[in-house]
C-alpha cells in the first residue's frame, strides 16, 4: 500500500515528466500556455523556466504563490475557472498550445467530480496539436489520451492531445 509520501512523490515526479514531454512536443507551436491552479507556483516556475517565446496565462482564484513564482498581472486570470475559462475562450478562441491543470486538493472524490465539470470547458480551448497535462483523469470527448513518458507513474498524471 503506497503511503501518502509515496503518492506525493509520484505526483511530483509525474508532473515534471509530463510537463517536460508536453513542452518539448509543443515547442514549435506559438499559441499561449495556460496554467490552471497556481498554488505555490512550483509548476508555473518550471514552465516559465523551460518555455520560450510563448505567454503563460495563469488561472487562479487568489494569488498566494512564492514571490519567485508569481506571474505578471497582465497574464493572471483571477477568478473561478468555471467562469474565467469560457470568458478567455470567447476572447482568444481555441489557441492554447499547452494546458496544465492541477486544481485538486486532498479529496479524490471531489477532485473527480470537479474534473467531470471542468473537462467540457477545457476541451475547446486547445489548438490542433495542443497538449493537456492533468493531475486528475479528465472526461474529454474529442481529445486523444497519450501514453505517459518514461518516469511518470500511471494514475498520477494524464496526457491528452487534440
| Cell numbers 501518502: residue | 4
| Neighbouring C-beta atoms of residue 91, cutoff 10 Å | 9
71: contact with ligand SAM by CB under 6 A: no
Q: Which residues within the stretch 85-104 sit at the binding site for ligand SAM (CB under 6 A)?
A: 102-103
Asked if residue 80 binds ligand SAM (CB under 6 A), the reply is yes
Cβ closer to ligand SAM: 22 or 38? Answer: 38
Taking the complex as a whole, the smallest distance from the CB of residue 83 to ligand SAM amounts, in Å, to 8
Binder to ligand SAM among 22, 81, 122, 133 (CB under 6 A)?
Answer: 81
Helices of type H across 26-107: 42-50, 81-92
Q: List 99's β-bridge partners, or say none.
A: 34, 132
Residue 157 contacts ligand SAM per CB under 6 A = no
Nearer to ligand SAM by Cβ, of 30 and 40: the residue is 40
1-60 residues in contact with ligand SAM (CB under 6 A) are: 37-43, 59-60
Which residues on neighbouring strands pair with residue 100, listed in sequence order? 35, 133
User: From residue 102 to residue 121, what is the string marking binding to ligand SAM with x (rule CB under 6 A)?
Assistant: xx------------------
Strands laid side by side in the 33-36 sheet: 76-78, 56-60, 33-36, 96-101, 126-134, 158-161, 144-145
Closest CB to ligand SAM among 4 and 144?
4
How far is the C-alpha of 84 from the C-alpha of 97, rounded, in Å? 18
How many angstroms from the chain centroid is the CA of residue 111? 14
Residue ranges in contact with ligand SAM by CB under 6 A: 37-43, 59-61, 80-82, 102-103
Amino acid at each position: 500500500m503506497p503511503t501518502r509520501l509515496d503518492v506525493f512523490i509520484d505526483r511530483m515526479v509525474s508532473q515534471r515528466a509530463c510537463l517536460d514531454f508536453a513542452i518539448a512536443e509543443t515547442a514549435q507551436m506559438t499559441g499561449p500556455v495556460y496554467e490552471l491552479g497556481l498554488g505555490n507556483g512550483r509548476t508555473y516556475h518550471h514552465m516559465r523556466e523551460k518555455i520560450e517565446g510563448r505567454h503563460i496565462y495563469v488561472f487562479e482564484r487568489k494569488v498566494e504563490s512564492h514571490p519567485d513564482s508569481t506571474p505578471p498581472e497582465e497574464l493572471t486570470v483571477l477568478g473561478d475557472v468555471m467562469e474565467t475559462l469560457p470568458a478567455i475562450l470567447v476572447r482568444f478562441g481555441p489557441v492554447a498550445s499547452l494546458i496544465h491543470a492541477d486544481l485538486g486538493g486532498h479529496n479524490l472524490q471531489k477532485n473527480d467530480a470537479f474534473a467531470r465539470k471542468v473537462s467540457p470547458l477545457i476541451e475547446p480551448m486547445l489548438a490542433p496539436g495542443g497538449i493537456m497535462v492533468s493531475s486528475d483523469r479528465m472526461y474529454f470527448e474529442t481529445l486523444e489520451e497519450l501514453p505517459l513518458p518514461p518516469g511518470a507513474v500511471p494514475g498520477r498524471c494524464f496526457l491528452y492531445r487534440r
